[in-house]
A and B are shown apart, each in its own frame.
Chain A
Amino acid sequence: MKRRDFIQKVSAGTTALAAVGSLGLQSFSTTPQATKITILHTNDVHSHIDTFGPDEGRNANKGGVARRASLIEAIRTKNPNTLLLDAGDIFQGTPYFNYYGGELEFKLMSKLKYDLATIGNHDFDNGIDGLYSQLPHAKFGFVSANYDFSNTVMNTHVKPYQIFKRDGVKIGVFGLGIELRGLVGEKLYKETKYLDPIEISQDMTRILKDEENCDLIICLSHLGYNYRNNPDKISDLKLAAATKDIDLIIGGHTHTFLPKPTVVKNSENSNVLVNQVGCYGLYLGQIDFHFDANKNKSANGTSIIV
């Protein structure tokens, strides 16, 4: 009999033990002493598959999916506990999209072993049916918690959140999309309903923290980093400040080139990281989360090195 099974049987039969057991059996059985989770991310790649040509201004000789593949592979080899995420606007920007409708983008992301993506406004550019028709080419999932797709073809193909377990660490990732009205033609997004990102995030963090007991909560957002000229518009910075229990917001939409993640205080005065890596696959974002089970070390809180 395996030790874990045996302990569970003991606790099931002994009231005193069961009460103790509920505190930490999970970490006892599966969690190692210390581990590192690596999050890699892109956003607004906009069908940029080839490396930019030598004459293409400030982007010259940058980007390219084949190079990104090598970089990701090297990082994964070093740390298999890696998640690869995309914050939307996968489509639109080069003839690859006009010719193949997103097929090549999804096939390549599958080859690069993307784990999850959210949906950007440009991913509706061939209509919601155009997006749906490319789904068979995607071997990764889509999350969006504030788009209600129930009256559309995308219904059941997009989850509000997805949970990953890497080396005993439970990682919950939920998605947020930008308001489509005024940005995307109605005939393209059809009956997709946009729900309030802050309210939805509060639901998501409650589910992921309290019900699913995630160790790490990541928001994959296409809301945009910040709107200086429109301070009432919801953005990643506003979302970070208005919510709690989110560890990292990976953003997109505004093509914001952040040299390093922004640290924002949330509603409980805890730190949230907000990151975005511009656009067109010129950069790859990397965030490493170091977990430790050692009580004494962790008494000092979490150090952030950016």
Chain B
Amino acid sequence: MVRFTKFNLVFFFSILLIAFGCKSEKLHLNKIEGQRLDINQTVSPNADIEAFIAPYKNRIESDLDSVLAYAVDTYSKNDGELNTAIGNLMADIVRTQGNIVFNKRTGHTIDVVILNHGGIRAEIPKGPVSARTAYNVMPFENEIVVTGLKGEKIDEAIDYLVSRKRANPIAGLKIVVDKNYNLISATINDEKINPNKIYYFATSDYLYNTGDNMTFFQPNEEFYEIDYKIRNAMIDYFKKADTIAPVIDDRFIIK
């Protein structure tokens, strides 16, 4: 331990005074500058980072680009008035693939599928179909959900589809309207709709939660999550199918 003489104490006290004299303030924020930096071609990539990413990237690319099926034509959501080949394919895939899980879990069968036209994000080009095709058409993580609807709710669903005058993808449901969009007939599985029966409607979790203003899924009689992404349903379907050749049919037409 250092012993303090009077001199020492005075000496250090003066040092402290000098110090406090010029720096007794806490740090003061004097100036703030803000800017946004572009990450574009003018910035050269870091080679180490690129090398680190490469194996991860290569695996995805070889996987996504391996051919699962062949499309006999190019299918776009703009080809067709109230139903399109690509929309019919999507709705049929959700019905076929979704039903495998839904039926196993509940013993019930999906009667109807309703998706939205806006949810088809790309066309399926003629030629090889890969998992990347599924990512392009369906980049969202939306999952298939199934809800039990009856009576009024089914009428609301049909009203929605008719009033939109749009090729929202459907399956299991057939709608015929006149040229003024008055409903002529609506059937489920080619039968007259029984107002007292529960029908099982499959859709995406996004639409179920009133996406695209589809408010008719709730409230409902029953609700099931089947933990199956629409994109994965597409990939699984492409793996089973040899050729992809959907057609415009009579599921939603003007007579």
Contact = CB atoms under 8 A, between A and B. Distances in A.
Question: Is chain B a partner of chain A in the same complex?
Answer: yes
Interface of A: 1, 6-7, 9-10, 13-14, 17, 20-21, 23-24, 27-28, 31, 34-35, 49-51, 61-71, 73, 92, 95-96, 99-100, 104, 107-108, 111-112, 125, 168-169, 185, 215-216, 247, 258-261, 273, 275, 277, 281-295, 297-298, 302-306
B106 interface: no
Contacts of B36: 258-260, 277, 283-286
Contact of B39 (A71, A216, A273, A302): A71
A66 B40 contact: no
Given A260-B34, A305-B34, A68 B39 contact: yes
A66 B53 contact: yes
Interface string B23-41: 1111111111111111111
Given A100-B56, A297-B30, A17 B16 contact: yes
Nearest to A97: B141
Interface residues on chain B, size class: 35 or more
B228 to A, nearest CB: 14
Contact of B56 (A92, A96, A275, A288): A96
B184 interface: no
Contact of B25 (A14, A63, A285, A295): A295
Closest 10 CB pairs of A and B: A66-B45, A298-B28, A69-B46, A292-B30, A290-B31, A261-B34, A306-B34, A66-B49, A67-B43, A284-B37
A111 B53 CA distance: 11
Given A50-B57, A108-B49, A283 B37 contact: yes
Contacts of B63: 99
Interface string B1-16: 0101000010011001
Given A65-B49, A293-B23, 4 more contacts: A14-B9, A66-B53, A284-B39, A287-B34
Given A1-B2, A111-B49, A96 B32 contact: no
A292 B205 CA distance: 54
